[in-house]
Chain A
Amino acid sequence: MLCAGCGAVQPPDRTADHFRVFGLPRKFDLDMVDLERRYKEMTKVLHPDRFARADGRARRASLERSVQLNLAWSTLSEPVPRAEYLLSLQGIEVGESASSKKSGEVDNRATQPVDTALLIEVMDLREALAEARSRGDRAKVTSLVADVQAHHDKEMAEVAVGFAAAQPDLAAIAARMVAARYYRRFLEDAEADREGDQGTAK
């Protein structure tokens, strides 16, 4: 990270992917304890606080390296963005912006077709949630949330299995990621509603 000769921080390698930032191979199954240790050690060396008194070039390099490091960490430290990132490195977009293209935003990446059966399933789940909520049936809301969480976790477990294969079936993994995203949205909305309820109850 630092020049062996003079100790100066070097600017980032802009071509490095998030795995290479940590000196790791591209794979889904990372050792999280090792990753966090690497992240913290590198932060101690590269953080702008270390270069508060250095020249402009070193301050700039430290800032850029830290930005790159933080982005790599936030992408790889959680399974969902890590899986999305691995797929995107193969030209497959399943991330948040892939299907919900915001107006004005450029999007020319290949997007995943969404399985109709999944859409119907999620719509039914949402209806059931709305109904349970309007009835004030908290037990039903809780059990729905638990069911969807289990669906989500199962899809993500399958994603991990898929990536572990010798020849990963990327299309199949992408389909599971899309399904997991729909479940996640359901859970987020259920949580937001719950907070809304608490807010108005006060």
Chain B
Amino acid sequence: MPVEALFDISEPGEAQAKEVCKGRAVGIDLGTTNSLVAVVQAGQPTCLRDEHGSLLPSVVHYAPDGGVVVGQEARGLAAQAPQDTIASVKRFMGRGPRDAEATRRLTPYQFAPGGDSESVVRFSVLGGQRAVTPVEVSAEILRVLKTRAEVALGGELDGAVITVPAYFDDGQRQATRDAGRLAGLEVMRLLNEPTAAALAYGLDKQAEGTFAVFDLGGGTFDISILKLEGGVFEVKSTGGDSALGGDDFDRALAAHLLRQMGLPEDAAGDRYLTRRVLDAARDAKEALTKLSATEVVIERGPGDIWRGTLTRDELDHVVKPVLDRCEPPARRALRDAGLEAKQLSGVILVGGATRMPIVRRLVASVFGCEPLADIDPDEVVALGAAVQADLLAGNARKDVVLMDVVPLSLGLEMMGGVAEKLIHRNTTVPCGAVQTFTTYADNQTGFDLHVVQGERELVADCRSLARFKLTGIPPMPAGMARLQVTFLVDADGLLSVSAHEQTTGKESSIRVKPSYGLTDDEVERMIRDSFAHAEQDVGERLLVVERVEGDRILQATRAALAASADLLVEGERAAIEAAMGALDEVKAGRDHLAVRAAIQALDAASKDFATRRMNQALAQGLRGQDIGAVESKVGK
């Protein structure tokens, strides 16, 4: 290529390229509802699974004994301990305690009191004994995925790509990176979710052309327009709403159900009821993807069961005002890309909420083309992230490159509270800008710099990212000082700002740490603490998991003994009850291995009995009885 000749050639021997690591690098989709980890194996990205499948529910339960439970088990504990079980933590990432958007909605959580307007939101768990930040909660989820990957790959990870909504601002990105560090991950890159999805499609389906990615997840909505050509994935524009997702459908539907139940829309502050209604709303919403009507059963109070029916038309009516908020960002993204809908080659659907028929209708009406959903919309982001991780680790083809953009303009506060944009939205990253400012007053010896993000003209309407001060400027008449401010956005979309007074050479620079974030010191301290407690934590976690499992088995066995006493043979009841007693006893202790052993002993003692019950159920099924009814009777 001729241009190469124009650049300097370094002296021979200098700076040998570092040896390329053939590392184990994974892609992680840290989602609002579910999280996943994927890896490229034999050239193909694959999601790693556990016994529940590839999706790890993004739910973290803080147990009274100090243990932490993540995933399916934690979701199961949400109904009995709603305040101590954090779901949808992503919505709180990088947000402040007074962020009305994040905290003042129908929510089962308790927030730690205090905290000025510029500190991070904290969940108060265990009756106020502990306060955890969203970064810590997210790190718990990441740790589980890290372990899953290390087990599957048979060794430590060298790095991870974590995805973020394209529309995440700088504070939300920083928080995600901090969570990765806290979980002990080497975060190689933060990758925008729609870009990850396009990467998965582009490489798998060899798609070429201009595509829209419509990503409606649990808590965030992204729209990106990308051009895919010759291995270059170029984001033309992006837009969205980092506080709009399937959760909002659940909340709208929950409010609707509460009205039908004759209860106030905030469930009168009853956190248990709130959790039950939100769960019922989510289940009903999912059922109505395939069905046109579904029954809803909610325990309104002790022994007070409410039954109702919900139709898809009702659901559509309830969620429409929320869904309508997707349309303006989608149209703006098209306009920012300088395109009309008919110029698109296709629309890629991402996120569980895009399964809803009403969402597909909206997509068809805005873009006028049939959406693509050949890759599982729940897995596509993690698969794309794995591909990017593989590229970064240097394992993969060299002719693929991602060109992403800044989602929201970055600027500085000027006199009078107006925002001066230095970097405009949809600028390709990495990017930079330099601007020179001067003093207003005679003998002004310092500059206050206030970094903001957003499209609005007034600083008050933008997101405050950071404030810093450059001091020690010698007294000069107004307008003489020359303050040169440099903005630099790296490939993760993270901003750093430096300022330099040219007449004196005084320098000041910061890596922007968001106002609503953790300081570097706080993150360091958390990392040290987590190392100190790492071993203990693992034990605690396993203990909690085993206890939950033990409880489940005890309950099921008790129910089976009551329902099928006629199937027991001589001495069997005594053996089973002895094993149950032993399990009950060790469960109160702190040894997770003992609990596991007792569970296995109970399994062994009741195995034949369980087999007979299964055979009986099957026989009854063959006689024309509904197997579903039998199963529910046996307390499975």
Q: Which chain A residues border B16 with CB–CB below 8 Å?
A: 6, 8
State how many angstroms separate the Cβ of B137 from the closest Cβ of chain A.
Answer: 28
Considering the chains assembled together, what is the distance between the CA atoms of A185 and B585 in angstroms?
78
The chain B residue with its CB closest to the CB of A105 is: B437
Contact flags B23-46 to A (C-beta < 8 A → 1, else 0): 100000000000000000000000
Q: Which stretch of A70-78, A139-147, A156-164 is in the interface? A: A70-78
Number of interface residues of A (CB under 8 A): 45
CB contact under 8 A between A1 and B4, given known A8-B14, A63-B490: yes
Considering the chains assembled together, what is the distance between the CA atoms of A8 and B402 in angstroms?
21
Q: Which chain B residues border A55 with CB–CB below 8 Å?
A: 15, 18
Q: Are A43 and B232 in touch, CB under 8 angstroms?
A: yes
B399 on the interface (CB 8 Å rule)? yes
Contact flags A30-64 to B (C-beta < 8 A → 1, else 0): 00000000101111100111101111011000010
Chain B, interface size: which category?
Answer: 35 or more
Q: Which chain B residues border A119 with CB–CB below 8 Å?
A: none
Q: Are B13 and A5 in touch, CB under 8 angstroms?
A: yes
Q: Are A44 and B7 in touch, CB under 8 angstroms?
A: no
Interface residues of A in 90-113 (CB under 8 A from B): 102-106
Q: Which chain A residues border B63 with CB–CB below 8 Å?
A: none
CB contact under 8 A between A74 and B230, given known A10-B8, A53-B18, A106-B436: no
Interface residues of B in 382-423 (CB under 8 A from A): 388, 391-394, 398-399, 401-403, 414-416, 418, 420
Q: Which chain A residues border B23 with CB–CB below 8 Å?
A: 53
B173 on the interface (CB 8 Å rule)? no
Considering the chains assembled together, what is the distance between the CA atoms of A96 and B247 in angstroms?
42
Interface residues of A in 3-21 (CB under 8 A from B): 3-8, 10-11, 13, 16, 20
Q: Are B428 and A106 in touch, CB under 8 angstroms?
A: no
CB contact under 8 A between A67 and B432, given known A53-B392, A58-B15, A106-B438: yes
CB contact under 8 A between A6 and B414, given known A104-B438, A105-B436, A106-B437: no
The chain A residue with its CB closest to the CB of B158 is: A53
Q: Are B401 and A43 in touch, CB under 8 angstroms?
A: yes
The chain A residue with its CB closest to the CB of B229 is: A40
Most chain B CB within 10 A, of A52, A55, A67, is at A52
Interface residues of B in 245-272 (CB under 8 A from A): none
A168 on the interface (CB 8 Å rule)? no
State how many angstroms separate the Cβ of A101 from the closest Cβ of chain B.
Answer: 11
Q: Which chain B residues border A199 with CB–CB below 8 Å?
A: 328
Q: Are B7 and A10 in touch, CB under 8 angstroms?
A: yes
Q: Which chain B residues border A41 with CB–CB below 8 Å?
A: 1
Q: Are A38 and B15 in touch, CB under 8 angstroms?
A: no
Q: Are B232 and A53 in touch, CB under 8 angstroms?
A: no
Q: Are B3 and A22 in touch, CB under 8 angstroms?
A: yes
Our pick among B2, B7, B391 for the contact of A49 (Cβ within 8 Å) is B391
A66 on the interface (CB 8 Å rule)? yes
State how many angstroms separate the Cβ of B444 from the closest Cβ of chain A.
Answer: 11
A2 on the interface (CB 8 Å rule)? yes
List 17 other contacts, CB 8 Å, given A5-B9, A6-B15, A70-B429.
A1-B3, A6-B16, A6-B17, A8-B14, A23-B6, A38-B3, A42-B1, A43-B232, A47-B401, A47-B402, A52-B188, A55-B15, A70-B431, A102-B420, A104-B414, A104-B440, A105-B436
Q: List 28 A-B contacts (CB under 8 A).
A: A1-B7, A3-B14, A5-B13, A6-B13, A6-B16, A7-B17, A8-B10, A8-B14, A8-B15, A13-B6, A13-B7, A22-B3, A38-B1, A44-B232, A44-B399, A47-B401, A47-B402, A53-B394, A70-B428, A74-B427, A74-B428, A104-B414, A104-B438, A105-B437, A105-B438, A106-B437, A106-B438, A202-B324
A interface with B by C-beta (< 8 Å): 1-8, 10-11, 13, 16, 20, 22-23, 38, 40-44, 47-50, 52-55, 57-58, 63, 66-67, 70-71, 73-74, 102-106, 199, 202
B interface with A by C-beta (< 8 Å): 1-10, 12-18, 20-21, 23, 159, 188-189, 229-232, 234, 324, 328, 388, 391-394, 398-399, 401-403, 414-416, 418, 420, 427-432, 435-438, 440, 482, 488, 490-491
